[in-house]
Structure 1
Amino acid sequence: MLIYGIYLYRKAERAGELTRPRTMSVVVLFILVDAALNYVAWGIDLFPSHDTALGLTWWSGLGRTLDAAYYVSYNTTHLGGTAFVSEKALQVGCVLMLFPMRIAGAWALLQFRKWGHQVVIVTSWGYILVWVVWLTQLAMGWDQRMAHSLYGWFGYLTLCVLGFLGAFVTLPYLYSLDTRNWR
């Protein structure tokens, strides 16, 4: 489907039709995929689906390799998930507010809406705030979380860098856009 979309895009360009810049399409697609993947992954842990075969396999596998809080003490609280209360608070905020706002803002940004641009910028800064809070709570439980994982500090860096890369990659581009002619 992606290849067919690229084909249609090139066909429209050759026909001289007005098209969206490719850079914007790639950045917004990155935002949509990043927010949707995080929404699904954190949503599986937030809701009772974390007790399903998919949830237990996903989170115990992640815990064994990267973050032992999802392996050693997983599902020991009444809400499930890790034993760290701050992590559940981050999940509630992100799954119920941040990621849906980010997805809606990115969709509006694809349609050149000013409010979509503003929402994506605000949620990118919110994403960075979540990253700082998550780093802090992860570092405070370092001995419980990283001592029993397979990759230790490498897993820590993998989670911290790759998991929250979206906001750092997209913010410079978002600030460079000129939205004066947008609806």
Structure 2
Amino acid sequence: MLRLGTPMDAGELLAVYAPYVEKTAVTFETRTPALEEFAGRIDEDGRYPWVLAFHSGELLGYACAHPFSGRAAYGWTAETSIYLREDRRGLGVGRKLYTALLELLRLQGYGSAVAVLTDPNAPSEAFHEKLGFSVCGRLPRAGYKAGRWWGVSWWQKELQAPGFVPGPILPLPALSRGTVERVLRENS
């Protein structure tokens, strides 16, 4: 089952995210954020969705969006992230989460989604490629974590048809409840 996340989910979400901070270079964050800080990342006004996957009441993972850049002209590009419980990778949960997230972003009026990946990261690159992202840039030796240098690669997916002229971004509450529920249900 998929549903939208709220700041009330921060504890469960942080439990999924913390191992990535503490054990991997998948995120360049070097310390696990405090619960209050992490809860503050979850967009309450609905501009950037957080999609959560559950099975039998247990959180399996989440996909979320956030601003790509603070400059106004980037307002129609969302940066995406996905984190799954360590024991739930490779089961198709990630595809369902990301597909729902990308469809919600498209319906909100975003023109493209960008994923910033640690480089190298062959599984994440293959995952994004299968979902229609293409690599658009690489920066070697961009961050130092876990005793070594890591690069980053930028992957982009167009969410709208060619010639798209942007309008205002719709917050999730502006979409019909039935539309949001349909997107979540179709990807559960």
User: What is the TM-score with the length of structure 1 in the denominator?
Assistant: 0.30
Q: Between Structure 1 and Structure 2, which shows a larger proportion of helix residues?
A: 1
Q: Between Structure 1 and Structure 2, which shows a larger proportion of strand residues?
A: 2
